């Protein structure tokens, strides 16, 4: 890996961050908080929240098996994705390399930040070729994006492929594990300490059933986490989200039961969809959704909308032509979908 200083934008490396009231005083309990121009009435939301979410990170460290100082919390993973560009990529100069097709936000954030986005297409079975990824890199490539299990294709990227890319690249590798709870493969996040150039993304939005809290996680070396903390908005996670997330984390067994139920439903849906007359091909999935190539994606999508069933039409995504992406729902929702599709003529 290059020196971190050579990877970070010079203005960010030398940035003196905003110092908020809750940062300057973070000692023990005080009797009078007169430092932040808050209203003394209406507790608890009258006070600014902890800018570094220390209590929440303590819990996440235990549940996720990652040291506290290796954790960044963002307003959804989307904040962490945007911060990767703002910390590492000089607008109009640097570029990133990403597998394709994949999650759309990597490219949107590249466009917003005026950073060139180089796509390396997966093969017809959505396999990722590490050598082709590494061959797309040049001197101005700061970041490589990998998503596993991948969205919208659903497949795992093998550990060996990811390892080859991390070891073969001297910049930052971001590995998005938003769906790793649904996969049989071991998650990479426990190994961020072994890879100084790796950032792993997790989210409360999928397995943790809390999409509306907007809580995403980035796991990386303490040096990278410090850079994220320097650039983020001071109070990026509001108090109510921090409190509710703590409640969710106090019952990890509930999440395990949901994940088990969704995996069981997935095992039931895969053969049921494969038998439908509209099914041309069903792709293997390690996530909580199934990518299906159908006889007429636009027409079937519209037919389902008219019956109040919404799936994701991926017909216009490269390599996903003719495909719908179907999220695993409750047994009742899944059966409603299957019976609608059986009746499709
Ligand atoms: C859903 C999803 C996320 C989650 O984003 P949040 O902003 O945390 O809700 C992240 N990455 C991928 C690949 C996803 O599909």
pLDDT tens readout for residues 262-285: 999 999 999 999 999 999 999 999
Output the residue whose Cα is nearest ligand 1's atom 5. Answer: 77
Q: Look at residues 16, 83, 56, 100 and name the one whose alpha carbon lies nearest to residue 218.
A: 83
* Distance from Cα 154 to the centre of ligand 1, integer Å: 13
pTM of the model as a whole: 0.97
- pLDDT tens-digit map of 56-71: 999 999 999 999 999 9
The whole-number average pLDDT for the span 212-224 is 98
Q: What is the pLDDT of residue 314?
A: 98
pLDDT band at 299 (very low <50, low <70, confident <90, very high): very high
pLDDT reported for residue 19: 84
20 has pLDDT over 90: no
Least confident of 16-20, 64-68, 203-207, 237-241: 16-20
Region for 19 from its dihedrals, namely left if φ exceeds 0, alpha if ψ lies in -120 to 50, beta otherwise: beta
- Average pLDDT over the chain reads 97
Give nearest CA residue, ligand 1 atom 2. Answer: 178
What was the pLDDT predicted at 231? 97
Mean of pLDDT values over 324-335: 98
Q: Give 78 Cα–ligand 1 centroid separation in angstroms.
A: 7
Q: Return the best residue to mutate from 199, 200, 203, 291 for the ligand 1 pocket (most ligand atoms within 8 A of CB).
A: 203
**Position 1 pLDDT exceeds 80:** yes
Where does ligand 1 bind, in terms of residues with CB under 6 Å? Answer: 76-78, 103, 147, 151, 176, 178, 203, 205-206, 211, 216
Lowest-pLDDT choice from 5-9, 21-25, 78-82, 325-329: 21-25
Atom number of ligand 1 nearest to Cα 211? 9
Distance, in Å, from the CA atom of 13 to the CA atom of 233, rounded to the nearest integer, reads 17
What is the enclosing helix (H) or strand (E) of 66?
A: none
- Tens of pLDDT along 32-63? 999 999 999 999 999 999 999 999 999 999 99
Q: What is the mean pLDDT of residues 114-119?
A: 98
Per the rule left: phi > 0, alpha: psi between -120 and 50, beta: everything else, 284 is beta
Asked if residues 20 and 6 have their Cβ atoms less than 8 Å apart, the reply is no
Ligand 1: which of 156, 206, 286, 287 to mutate, most ligand atoms within 8 Å of CB?
Answer: 206
Q: Is the pLDDT of residue 26 over 90?
A: no
77 CA from centroid of ligand 1 (Å): 6
DSSP string, 164-211: HHHHH-SSEEEEE-TTGGGSSSPPSGGGGGG-TTEEEEEESSSTT--G
Q: For 10-24, 53-67, 169-183, 205-219, which range has the lowest pLDDT when averaged over its residues?
A: 10-24
Task: Look up tokens 């009435």; give the residue.
Answer: 41
pLDDT at 28: 73
Residue 23: its pLDDT value, please? 78
Amino acid 21: pLDDT:
79
Quick one: which atom of ligand 1 is closest to the CA of 205?
Answer: 9
pLDDT at 195 over 90: yes
Q: Is the pLDDT of residue 22 over 80?
A: no
Q: For the residues 314-333, what does the mean pLDDT come to?
A: 98
Whether the per-residue pLDDT at 24 is higher than 90: the answer is no
Q: Which residue from 74, 77, 104 has its CB within 8 A of the most atoms of ligand 1, so it is best to mutate? A: 77
């Amino acid at each position: 890996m290059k020196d971190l200083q050579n990877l970070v934008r010079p203005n960010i490396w030398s940035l003196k961050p905003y110092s908020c009231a809750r940062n300057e005083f973070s000692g023990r309990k005080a009797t009078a908080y007169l430092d932040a121009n808050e209203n003394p009435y209406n507790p608890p939301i009258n006070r600014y929240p902890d800018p570094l979410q220390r209590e929440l990170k303590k819990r996440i460290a235990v549940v996720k098996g990652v040291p506290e100082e290796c954790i960044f919390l963002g307003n959804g993973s989307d904040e962490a994705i945007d911060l990767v560009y703002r910390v590492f990529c000089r607008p109009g100069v640097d570029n990133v390399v990403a597998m394709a097709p994949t999650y759309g936000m990597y490219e949107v954030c590249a466009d917003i930040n005026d950073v060139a986005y180089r796509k390396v297409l997966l093969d017809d079975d959505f396999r990722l070729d590490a050598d082709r990824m590494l061959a797309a890199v040049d001197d101005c490539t700061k970041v490589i994006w990998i998503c596993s299990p991948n969205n919208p294709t659903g497949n795992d990227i093998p550990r060996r492929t990811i390892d080859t890319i991390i070891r073969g690249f001297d910049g930052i590798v971001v590995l998005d594990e938003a769906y790793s709870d649904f996969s049989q493969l071991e998650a990479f996040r426990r190994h961020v300490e072994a890879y100084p150039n790796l950032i792993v993304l997790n989210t409360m939005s999928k397995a943790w059933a809390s999409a509306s809290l907007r809580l995403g996680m980035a796991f990386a070396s303490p040096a990278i986490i410090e850079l994220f903390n320097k650039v983020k908005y001071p109070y990026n996670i509001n108090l109510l989200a921090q409190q509710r997330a703590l409640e969710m984390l106090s019952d990890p067994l509930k999440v395990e039961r949901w994940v088990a139920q969704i995996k069981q439903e997935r095992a039931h849906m895969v053969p049921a969809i494969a038998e439908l007359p509209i099914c041309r091909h069903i792709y293997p999935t390690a996530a909580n959704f199934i990518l299906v190539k159908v006889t007429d994606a636009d027409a079937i999508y519209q037919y389902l909308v008219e019956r109040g069933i919404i799936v994701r039409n991926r017909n216009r995504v490269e390599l996903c032509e003719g495909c719908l992406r179907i999220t695993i729902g409750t047994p009742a929702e899944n059966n409603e979908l299957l019976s609608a599709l059986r009746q499709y003529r």
